[in-house]
Structure 1
């Protein structure tokens, strides 16, 4: 295969159902557009339904819109019920939506906003939809992480919600590290079932709305350097789309931009931090996530 994996390499997706969170803008929109262009029935899962409808109108193909607010477990459960009713089978679940570097805020359920949105909301959604995927050959759960999982990142089990002190970058790093740990533990639990696989991806530095909460002290340098360092949302979405569609992808793999530093470039298989591979922490995070969300998966637990 060509070293430069592009949108043209996406295989036909006719007959497949793809659910993409955060799909009204940026990386999610481009992911949804590429999948729809190859024939998938794509569900744009969005917080703002009107913006979702506007996005759907810009995409050619079979596209629908589903409301979901990842900051509310009630909303996650309601959206999952709607999706289950509308789709007896689901081929792709792409956990793309996220927030970054937000001021200290909490979700409706009292979770720190970045951890609650980026990890716990997607953890719950995946668990509630998984039985629609398990019987489907070639189905995949793709969760979008970030190079931020390496920066000031750890799972702070003694203060998961950052109630004692708060760091925007630390909280983001924890959430993105959690995305990877969730993927790896999910893959181990999926492996005995032999059909669905879990894969992760990251977009490098992409010029999207995600960076709108960048601290003021960094905003000017980021703005000045963005044209030199970042890539557009279409390129940034390619690792996710490759993870979702490339026939050669294996469960538990991680895809990102291929240029030096994984900042930009065409998607390739990459590696994550040593911390993300800690199996004991992955399993502990899984248990805590089940407790916090009240969602359990129809899968056999892994053994330490």
Structure 2
């Protein structure tokens, strides 16, 4: 039996950790692609099985390039584009000058997927799973100000980055199908899930932030539940490219896994093509 090679970005905590753990339990060899290597090593010890830790900072195109160049595996069966940032403070940028949410959550994963596409093509039935969010449904892209240099609002910037991530996954599916590729591009979102991202986002708000973070415990589901849409997309035997999975209950915030609905903008091919062209220009990565 052939061992699956899987890469999970942001695998040292939250949904990424649960995803990596379940993949390892299924017998996959899992690369924990993490910015914080010591935290990744701690996670690897907890996960057990066949895992390795490799440094990847999605906020740096140089780091993405180095990760892809140093990866020893000739074929990749699963790429889980999971890592993400959510901030509620002032505007910040990546090492390449991109607004931090868009640069990390979407552009970093765009560049990573493009640089690993040849490895994915060598697997018999590879899958790319991109992590969306229900916040993508309220977001709109402004191609005249993709980096939110005007009227910056952190929550809106996060939603925009998740809309961009969703558009990327949908457009990747279109392009793979147009070339007859066997690679599947799928999407998943966790609904409202308790991870370490929200407490970090509220941390700078002091006592008020701690109150809001605590209140979030009442409306969110455990991370083990939040990871189920990702695992369905990664391991489900009956999936097809382009599918989008999320929770079924309470306006897609929690519950059993079902097919989720894209926003009108996320499903628009013209917007997908325009964002793709912008991403290629910004990252200098082209998909062949």
CA contact (8 A) 2:20 2:32 kept: yes
Q: Once the two structures are superposed, what CA deviation does each residue of 1:180-231 show, in whole Å capped at 9, x if it has no partner? A: 1001110011113331010000111111111121484973564343333111
2:266 equivalent in structure 1: 276
CA distance in 1 between partners of 2:215 and 2:136 (Å): 22
Map of 1:180-191 to 2, 5 A cutoff?
Answer: 180-191=166-177
CA apart distance, 1:72: 0.6
Residue 25 of structure 2, aligned match among 37, 48, 59: 37
Tell me which moved more, 123-132 or 162-171: 162-171
CA contact (8 A) 1:73 1:109 kept: yes
CA contact (8 A) 2:76 2:122 kept: no
CA distance in 1 between partners of 2:36 and 2:43 (Å): 11
Residue 49 of structure 1, aligned match among 30, 37, 42: 37
CA distance in 1 between partners of 2:185 and 2:208 (Å): 34
Helix, strand or coil: the match of 1:289?
Answer: helix
Q: In structure 2, do the counterparts of structure 1 residues 92 and 268 end up closer, same or farther at CA, with 3 Å as the change threshold?
A: same
CA distance in 1 between partners of 2:189 and 2:148 (Å): 24
CA distance in 2 between partners of 1:102 and 1:49 (Å): 25
Structure 1 runs, 4 residues or longer, greater than 4 Å off: none
Map of 1:70-81 to 2, 5 A cutoff?
Answer: 70-81=58-69
CA distance in 1 between partners of 2:101 and 2:85 (Å): 6
- Say yes or no: does 1:145 pair with 2:132: yes
1:130 equivalent in structure 2: 117
2:55 equivalent in structure 1: 67
Helix, strand or coil: the match of 1:157?
Answer: coil
CA distance in 1 between partners of 2:88 and 2:70 (Å): 29
CA contact (8 A) 2:74 2:122 kept: no
Q: Once the two structures are superposed, what CA deviation does each residue of 1:91-146 show, in whole Å capped at 9, x if it has no partner? A: 00000000013431000000000000000000000000011111322210000010
TM-score (norm 2): 0.94
**Unpaired runs of 5+ in structure 2?**
none
Q: Once the two structures are superposed, what CA deviation does each residue of 1:219-245 show, in whole Å capped at 9, x if it has no partner? A: 356434333311111111110011011
CA contact (8 A) 1:14 1:38 kept: no
- Say yes or no: does 1:225 pair with 2:215: yes
CA contact (8 A) 1:69 1:76 kept: yes
CA distance in 1 between partners of 2:57 and 2:127 (Å): 22
Map of 1:91-110 to 2, 5 A cutoff?
Answer: 91-103=77-89, 104-110=91-97
1:6 equivalent in structure 2: none
CA contact (8 A) 1:19 1:93 kept: yes
2:152 equivalent in structure 1: 166
CA apart distance, 1:257: 1.1
1:301 equivalent in structure 2: none
**Unpaired runs of 5+ in structure 1?**
1-12, 299-304
2:245 equivalent in structure 1: 255
Helix, strand or coil: the match of 2:6?
Answer: strand
CA distance in 2 between partners of 1:205 and 1:77 (Å): 32
Q: Once the two structures are superposed, what CA deviation does each residue of 1:146-201 show, in whole Å capped at 9, x if it has no partner? A: 011123x1111101111122011111111000011001110011113331010000
